[in-house]
Chains A and B, each alone.
Chain A
């Protein structure tokens, strides 16, 4: 090839790359800033990007229920800012579901570890962020009560048939401190040292706030009352009318404790006699204590 031809070739390449640079720069800069030209509406709109990585890779991606052609890792760019439900699926791994709230000119990055289906381990089907869970024993089988970021769920102990008890979710910090969940007729009572909540018809209501610290809570008189050991005070709260509660007993020692036998409805009390170091055991019919209750007080 003659030198002139090399020169022509070089000039062609130069102009190709020069024009490429001039063309690519504005497109890529606008794209990088999240701007997108919509051909249909002939308008420029701001978009966002979702970056999905998974371990292992090559998981199928479902965006708002629609399967995408690509698998992970993938960058979903030019998306309209809104909430997205994303689901990742891969054979022999549990599916993973997440929610992304996409803002304009922003990126939401997810790096998800898929959990393999191992013979002896099963994963709860819905991908909830579980704050706390309890096993509830029934004669027809155990139930799992799960406090999650998506609300409170009931499900069978084989992790099937999940039922949303409440769409409301208890704050993560509060939920993780729940000591116990009591099951009444069509309602649940959850308590922690700092409060008692009733979950009824999908609503979560704080029904008791302790004067000091709650040490113990149990049903009394066939789930009609809630007996609360609030430090040294024993109070009864009418479950049907939870806006009031009645002080029924005052313990003398901070280490005193109580036990309630729901069959005989007898309350056992271990407490000190004033002026001695001896703990004695007392008992009383709960019904009598409630009938001789103190002044009604307003619940918080």
Chain B
């Protein structure tokens, strides 16, 4: 089979499996409801175990993060015994920018300049797009405003309509990183000592971010085979967005917290950091694919024949909750953002093809990694349909057609138990989410805290309609070769 055909097959496979599961369960409702009830009971037990497991991971991750709060990372950096010295390290902070408002960029720059790390070891890269005609002027103004705080500020403008590229963050970041390489080489920096952090335009790093990152870079023996992933906390504009959007993004933060504890399958997501040398070695981010943030991990994974990992940093970065002009636009924005995240399913075909071509990675590792990726995307695309639509329909159908069948009665009972577990987890989430809240702006009433509790009532609706639909949409588009174009999430505060 030709590589192109294999790639198409791998693109079709996740969507095919997801649709098969959903349609098979619906068909089974009419063919053999008893078998369906048994399958759903097993599925619910799986979910109960998974919910407990994920809740414990959430608590462990939360403990890991909160217990690291008082660590003096900078002191640790100075004391660490390493082949590298803290003074050798140069940080490149790359912000790919496209049409983000100046105010938002200024906030990010302010957060960056307020970090505890020495700014004379920090070079800021503002990567604009030629497609944004106001880009250059806006970036020049920001450079002028902030240049005194950093070692240097570089501005790059990614030319539009470059052959072989799609308009994406990855293409812009790659163009900028190549310019940075030239700059570093010109100024005699050793690329081995350079850490690059690529941040979304709204990313405000925690004060300790660069100290923590530097410490882990220095202390890690496989520093060139490691990406460093901060926890993205979506709270920059949390007091200004609709309640349901808050719930969705708190959910995203929690998911990332849980994932950070699954070391063996943890991969880069959104804003992250890595060795600049490694970035150059793997030929930068992909320029023709959407999910550049996760694909860079897989490129490194393949380059180092599977000996590459993502390390979860204890220190977070703060980002914006995607928000639109009004509630309905916010729903659309949230949907499109989640669909873009779910487009990460394109990684399956990418790594599938590359695994075939790479003979140095163990077969068991390849199978495990492919299965993990397939499992997470198929689960994402199906769970909400099964729990929110198929399950109630089956319970209703069972009541109508097989009123006295014990298995349907027990299915209903187990389903109720799962919801009780879910309620417990929501209460836990309310408590944990309080700790991620930034100080309340003065112009916002205290009464908003009531909505911070009531907002959790949206969870069943959000789960039903935004839980799986974006993922299934993304997989279906990929199945039919209807490739997604990069969606720039609107940022507003």
Give A contacts to B, CB under 8 Å.
1, 6-7, 9-10, 13-14, 17-18, 20-21, 24-25, 28-29, 31-34, 48-49, 51, 75, 103, 105-109
B41 near A1 (CB under 8 angstroms)? no
Q: Which of B53, B64, B404, B411 contacts A6 (CB 8 A)?
A: B64
Chain A: CB-nearest residue to B405: A106
Residue of A nearest to B410 (CB): A32
Across the interface, do B38 and A107 meet the contact criterion of CB distance under 8 Å?
no
What's the minimum C-beta distance from B374 to chain A, rounded to whole angstroms? 19
29 A-B contact pairs sorted by A residue (CB < 8 Å): A1-B63, A1-B64, A1-B67, A7-B263, A10-B60, A10-B261, A10-B263, A13-B56, A17-B50, A17-B53, A21-B45, A21-B46, A24-B49, A25-B45, A28-B41, A29-B38, A29-B41, A31-B410, A32-B411, A33-B406, A49-B409, A51-B409, A75-B413, A105-B406, A105-B407, A106-B405, A107-B404, A107-B409, A109-B409
Cβ A20 vs Cβ B409 within 8 A? no
- Residue among A32, A105, A106 with most chain B CB within 10 A: A32
Query: Once bound together, how far apart are the Cα atoms of A111 and B63, in whole Å?
Result: 47
Give the residues from 383 to 424 in chain B that come closer than 8 angstroms, CB to CB, to chain A: 404-407, 409-411, 413-414
Q: How large is the interface on B (under 10, 10 to 19, 20 to 34, 35 or more residues)?
A: 20 to 34
Q: How far is the CA of A103 from the CA of B409 in the complex (A)?
A: 14
Contact present for A107 and B46 (CB under 8 Å)? no
Of A14, A29, A75, A109, most buried by chain B (CB within 10 Å of CB) is A29
Q: Judging by beta carbons under 8 Å apart, are A9 and B60 in contact?
A: yes
| B262 touches A (CB below 8 Å) | yes
Q: Give CA–CA (A7, B407) in the complex, Å.
A: 39
In the complex, what residues of B have CB within 8 A of residue A105's CB? 405-407
Instruction: With a 10 A CB-CB cut-off, give which of A18, A21, A107, A109 has the most chain B CB atoms.
Output: A107
Given known contacts A6-B64, A10-B262, A17-B49, A32 and B406 CB-to-CB distance under 8 angstroms:
yes
Give A34 to B411 CA distance when docked, in angstroms.
12
Q: Tell yes or no: B177 within 8 A of A by CB.
A: no
Chain A residues near B405 (CB, 8 Å)? 105-107
From 27 to 63 in chain B, residues with beta carbon under 8 angstroms from any chain A beta carbon are 37-38, 41-42, 45-46, 49-50, 52-53, 56-57, 60, 63
Q: Which residue of B lies closest to A109 (CB)?
A: B409
| Structural contact, B404 and A32, CB atoms closer than 8 A | no
Given A17-B50, A29-B41: 5 more A-B contacts, CB < 8 Å: A17-B53, A25-B45, A32-B411, A75-B413, A107-B409
CA–CA, A75 and B416, complex, Å: 14
> What's the Cα separation between A216 and B224 when bound, in Å?
106
| Majority DSSP secondary structure for residues of A touching B | helix
**Cα distance A13–B407 in the bound complex, in angstroms:** 30
B53 contacts which chain A residues (CB < 8 A)?
13-14, 17
Residues of chain A within 8 A of B38, CB atoms compared: 29, 32-33
Are A32 and B41 in contact, CB atoms less than 8 angstroms apart? yes
Contacts of B50 in A (CB 8 A): 17
CB-CB under 8 A from A28, the residues of chain B are: 41, 45, 414
Contact B42 A25 (CB under 8 A): yes
How far, in whole Å, are A34 and B408 apart by their CA atoms in the complex? 11
With beta carbons under 8 angstroms apart, the residue of B41, B263, B406 that contacts A107 is: B406
CB of A277, distance to nearest CB on chain B (Å): 60
Task: Give B residues with C-beta under 8 Å from A.
Answer: 37-38, 41-42, 45-46, 49-50, 52-53, 56-57, 60, 63-64, 67, 261-263, 404-407, 409-411, 413-414
The reply to whether B52 and A24 contact each other, CB–CB distance below 8 Å, is: no
Separation of A34 and B37 alpha carbons in the complex (Å): 13
Q: A31 CA to B407 CA in the complex, in Å?
A: 9
Q: What chain A residues lie within 8 Å of B411 (beta carbons)?
A: 32
Interface centre among B37, B49, B64, B261 (most CB of A within 10 A): B49
Chain A residues whose CB sits within 8 angstroms of the CB of B42 once the complex forms: 25, 29
Taking the closest CB of chain A, its distance from the CB of B235, in whole angstroms, is 24
Q: What 10 A-B pairs have minimum CB-CB distances, sorted nearest first?
A: A32-B410, A107-B409, A106-B404, A17-B53, A17-B49, A34-B406, A21-B49, A107-B406, A105-B406, A13-B56
Q: Kindly state the separation between the CA atoms of A105 and B64 in the bound complex, as whole angstroms.
A: 48
B406 cross-chain contacts in A, Cβ below 8 A: 32-34, 48-49, 105-107
Q: Is there an interface contact between A17 and B45, defined as CB atoms closer than 8 Å?
A: no
Partner of A17, one of B52, B261, B404, B414: B52
Please, which residues of chain B bring their CB within 8 A of the CB of A10? Answer: 57, 60, 261-263
Given contacts A1-B64, A75-B413, contact A32 B45 (CB under 8 A): no
What's the minimum C-beta distance from A35 to chain B, rounded to whole angstroms? 10
Residues of A within 8 A of B67 (CB): 1
Q: Complex Cα distance A109/B67, Å? A: 52
Task: Give the most central of A18, A28, A49: most B CB within 10 Å.
Answer: A28
The reply to whether B404 and A108 contact each other, CB–CB distance below 8 Å, is: yes
**Which chain B positions have C-beta within 8 A of A106?**
404-406
Q: B482 to nearest A CB, angstroms?
A: 37
Give the shortest distance, in Å, between B191 (CB) and chain A (any CB). 27
CA distance A3 to B17 in the complex (A): 36
Q: How far is the CA of A25 from the CA of B38 in the complex (A)?
A: 10
Alpha-carbon distance between A34 and B41 when the two chains are bound, in angstroms:
14
